[in-house]
Amino acid sequence: MRSYATLLLSLFPLTNSARLTFSDGGNYTISSNYDETNIFVLNSTSLTLSSDAYSINAPSSTDDGESAIRVENAYLHVNGGKITGAANIGGSGVTITTDKDRDSKSYATFEDGVEIIGGSAGREHTTKGGDAVQIIQQGAEATFNGGKFTPGTGCTLNVCGVQTDDGNSLQVLYGKAIIKGGVFEGNIYSLSGDVEVHGCIEFDGETITGVLLDGNKFDVRFNGQPNYLQIVYNKTVCEDDTASEAPDSSNAPSNGACSYSAFVLFKLTIGICVMICLSAL
């Protein structure tokens, strides 16, 4: 059943953009392309993005918000597709937040097959690239089981007169991120938010490296206080990774080669013993 809330599509002729809001507390699924559109999920509403090859692109305007999808006191489950933050203004692909009430909760999960990209930077609005995913309030939580997360590119020397930073693959100002899988192609930043990483993982004080639970390699710089980072070490993942990199037994020496090597070593040993005995006479 569709409610009027899912059909709230407000057009802004000046920017040729649209705003799609899900806010009646229902459960909805979308599998369509949305260009120049901001999607808002509010008020305990649940939205699932299907695994179909759709795309959602935020408009290049601050009128409607910078994120392609904003989840506030609501639920989002992303199974696939491509989501891109607002271009030229460094918009985020997905923002998960709450209204700051201590009982407010927001949850998002990302599965294998989704690609989220932060918006690029431009001189008119910002000089920094957008984050692929950002979590910005207490009570907001996201779990990453898979997917690809790419920060938006910073401004170039030709456009801004200076080369500026890219965004982050994940930014956690407050709240919590749980990483079990996926490919993260940029830094992870934490202001006061918790970041939990599962797998065969190590942290050297600057960079998180290893293998996640889904088997993806992980090599990401962590910008934040170490006390906000928790490594959930999984020995099984380490063993699986070691087994996959074991040398091919076909390259090992044959039994015949080993026997010949032992024979040569035996003859050399006898020769050395004879020389020692002769020198002692």
Quick: pLDDT tens for 125-181. 777 899 999 999 999 999 999 999 999 999 888 877 778 899 999 999 999 999 999
d(Cα 150, Cα 185) in Å, to the nearest integer? 5
Partners of 232 in the β-ladder: 198
Pick from 45, 43, 49: nearest CA to 83? 49
Q: Which pLDDT does position 138 carry in this prediction?
A: 93
Q: Which pLDDT does position 280 carry in this prediction?
A: 53
**Residues in the chain, pLDDT under 70:** 1-17, 53, 62-65, 102, 241-281
Q: Which pLDDT does position 246 carry in this prediction?
A: 47
Find out whether 132 and 167 touch, Cβ atoms under 8 Å.
Answer: yes
Q: Which pLDDT does position 268 carry in this prediction?
A: 54
Pick from 101, 162, 89: nearest CA to 131? 89
104 burial (CB, 10 Å; 0-12 / 13-18 / 19+) is middle
Q: Which pLDDT does position 116 carry in this prediction?
A: 97
- Dihedral sign (CA 111, 17, 96, 155): positive
CB-based burial, 65-91: b 16+ in 10 Å, e otherwise = bbbbbbbbbbbbbbbbbbbbbbbbbbb
Q: Which pLDDT does position 149 carry in this prediction?
A: 98
Q: Which pLDDT does position 128 carry in this prediction?
A: 87
Q: Which pLDDT does position 260 carry in this prediction?
A: 40
Cβ-proximal residues to 211 (8 Å cutoff; 6+ apart), any chain = 199, 200, 201, 217, 218, 237, 238, 241
Find out whether 185 and 167 touch, Cβ atoms under 8 Å.
Answer: no
State the pTM of this model: 0.80
Q: Which pLDDT does position 240 carry in this prediction?
A: 72
